[in-house]
A and B are shown apart, each in its own frame.
Chain A
Amino acid sequence: MSEAATAAGRPLAGLRTWCTMLAICLEERLVYRGDFILGTLMRFLPIVTQVFLWTAVFNATSRPDIAGYSRDDIVAYYLLTMVTRAFSSMPGLAGGIARSVRDGSVKKYLVQPVDYVGYLLAARIAHKLVYYLVAALPFAGVFLVCRGYFPPVPDAATIAAYVVSLLLSFLLGFFMEATLGMLGFWFLEVSSIIFAYMLVQYLLSGHMFPIDMLAGVPIGIAGVSAADLVRWLPFEYTAYFPAAVWLGKVRGGTLARDLAIEAAWVVVMAVACRLAWWRGTRRYSAFGG
């Protein structure tokens, strides 16, 4: 094969390699289906407790709504963040990367002509696909039981925007956690950093409460509310934003702008991840592998 033909075939070959990687990652995920099914079902529990908690809150107050959310809105919101988290949460990703650095198994990716970030992405997509396969039925059941809490199904354009926001939330979650994991090149132990990240993420993503509730909450800087601060961070796109899109809280020009910001965050974190890998492997090889 001539050099030119090889060069032309390269992107295609890269894609084929990646698809094989995805297929093999899928097979690997399916090995542990028993454990996986149990883990998946357990993840529904916190949602149930949240629904009970907010029901108790509404029972205790005479107000029909809190910060613009009725009881039904809150339940619908929680179920929708559950869907977003099914896309954007990356259990074990950061810890796994840090472990592979610590135990040296990352070496394989220095020796073989293979892209580690691409491999991680394939592995994570496989992880998610198997998860959806297992979780589809329980999800459907929960939504069927709770259908009364939801507003009418939005129009096609909103649904399309919702799907885009979900896919972007997957990529954003992936690149944020992968970057976090690569701190393992600098620190021997990253579990505390991961824990701190999870905590911040839980508070600021809208996973704990809808973040528009923070509007008007002062943070000590004149004219800046807690909601403004959150707006400047990427976290809301990993829980709150897609749910808000479905519920029709973000529309028209604002919707387009926020989707663009979400996409921009994905690019920023993808670059950060590559940079961390590049700097990290250089450091790793300088300090002795």
Chain B
Amino acid sequence: MHNSNRGEAGDGMAAAVISVEALAKEYRVYDKPEGLLASVTGLFHRTSRRVEALRGVSLEVGRGEFVALLGPNGAGKTTFLKALSGIITPSRGRATVLGHVPWERADAFRRRFALVMGQRNQLWWDLPAAESFRLHKEIYRIDPARFDRTRDELVDLLGVRKLVLQPVRDLSLGERMKLELVAALLHEPEVLFLDEPTIGLDVVAQHTIHDFLKKVQADRRVTVVLTTHYMKDVAALCERVVVITHGSILHDGPLEEIVDRFTTHKIVTLDLEATPAAGRLERFGFPCEVRGPRVTLRIDRSRIADVLPEVLRSEGVRDVSVEDVPLEEIVAELFRAAPAPPVPEATP
């Protein structure tokens, strides 16, 4: 499958496919205090609050990049994807995707990207996916020969050829997600937005989808922006990670950089010859967890070179492993450490 040379010819990573500048989005939410009386007074007088879902996000994404948006629930990830796919109009700031302002929703733009939301269907619930594919062929004006070729290739990559003639409602969540991805890629979008594509899927299905996305992205140089809560997705797919908390970008860079910057210690696991005496390993001064002869120590990265030989010398060690802190933990720490912005005052 070849990537058509629309737009910037011979562009490298440098040419920005997505360009965002100081994007901000505010909502007004109404507070409803508890109780019947409050509900009645609420009919006449409501208090509202301004919620800033995005506070001046700036970002450039080059052609063929695979970017993960990470952040706790409510951080603004989905709002950001919605703005980039034109579902919402931001309050302030600028953005272009493939040279278009997304929220103008020009057909010329809408034919060139796709959005897959993990919990929403674009497939027709009561019909086989093949029918939804046929409709996409018309909606996106896909050349028939090209459509057949693309569909067959995508379906085979995901191993779902048998499922396309089965009503979608009879499929499992994983099977449905795979077919959603096929539907989203039939028109060979240049930009793909994925909102939690692996949510609720088993490990095998996650794996299949990782391999699939990797291949599709590499073969066609699709620019992919993905939101997820699964670090497995990030580790398997994305070179670049953008961490969003409280509507602002906290960190933007390669995954290794995050690990490097935010990892304060290493996890050392020791298999000892015998269960150590109580308090014996605590003398090294690091948090430690003892489970029989297996001991786990969290040692400061800066001191690992000094401490580790000492540990190995002083104990009867059968086996040792030194690992990075799991990605989940690093990211959780990152989220927690982010300073919360001031809460705007309630206005009547």
Alpha-carbon separation in the docked complex, A105 to B122 (Å): 9
CB distance from A43 to the nearest CB of B (A): 23
Q: Which B residues touch A16, using CB under 8 A?
A: 138
B36 to chain A, nearest CB (A): 19
Assess whether B120 is in contact with A112, with CB atoms less than 8 Å apart. Answer: no
CB distance from A149 to the nearest CB of B (A): 41
Q: Look across to chain A and name the residue whose beta carbon is closest to the beta carbon of B128.
A: A27
With A24-B134, A285-B87 already in contact, the answer to whether A111 and B115 are too (CB < 8 A) is yes
> Which residues of chain A from 89 to 113 have any CB-CB distance to chain B below 8 Å in the complex?
104-105, 107-108, 110-113
- Closest CB in chain A relative to B22 CB, distance in Å: 18
Residues of A within 8 A of B114 (CB): 111
Interface status of A260 (Cβ within 8 A of chain B) = no
Q: Is A70 interfacial (CB-CB < 8 Å)?
A: no
B105 touches A (CB below 8 Å): yes
Question: In the complex, what's the smallest C-beta–C-beta distance from A102 to chain B, in angstroms?
Answer: 14
Of B87, B111, B138, B139, the contact of A289 (CB 8 Å cutoff): B87
Known A28-B124, A28-B126; contact A20-B138, beta-carbon cutoff 8 A: yes
Number of contact residues on B: which range applies? 20 to 34
Indicate the size class of the contact surface on chain A.
Answer: 20 to 34
Taking a contact as CB atoms under 8 Å apart, the answer to whether B140 and A27 are in contact is no
Q: List, in ascending order, chain B residues with CB within 8 A of A111's CB.
A: 85-87, 110, 114-115
Q: Are B107 and A113 in contact (CB under 8 A)?
A: yes
* CB atoms of B131 and A107 under 8 A apart: no
A4 on the B face (CB < 8 A):
no
Alpha-carbon distance between A110 and B110 when the two chains are bound, in angstroms: 9
Cβ of A114 and Cβ of B87 under 8 Å apart? no
The answer, yes or no, to whether A17 is at the interface (CB within 8 Å) is yes
- Listed in ascending order, the chain A residues whose CB lies under 8 Å from chain B are 13, 16-17, 20-21, 24, 27-28, 31-32, 104-105, 107-108, 110-114, 282, 285-289
Contacts from B to A (Cβ < 8 Å)? 25, 27, 53, 79, 82, 85-89, 103, 105, 107, 110-111, 114-115, 117, 120-122, 124, 126-127, 131-132, 134-135, 137-141, 167
24 A/B residue pairs, CB under 8 Å, sorted by A:
A13-B141, A21-B138, A28-B126, A28-B127, A31-B126, A32-B126, A104-B120, A105-B121, A107-B120, A108-B120, A108-B122, A111-B85, A111-B86, A111-B110, A112-B139, A113-B107, A113-B111, A114-B139, A285-B89, A287-B27, A288-B27, A288-B88, A289-B82, A289-B87
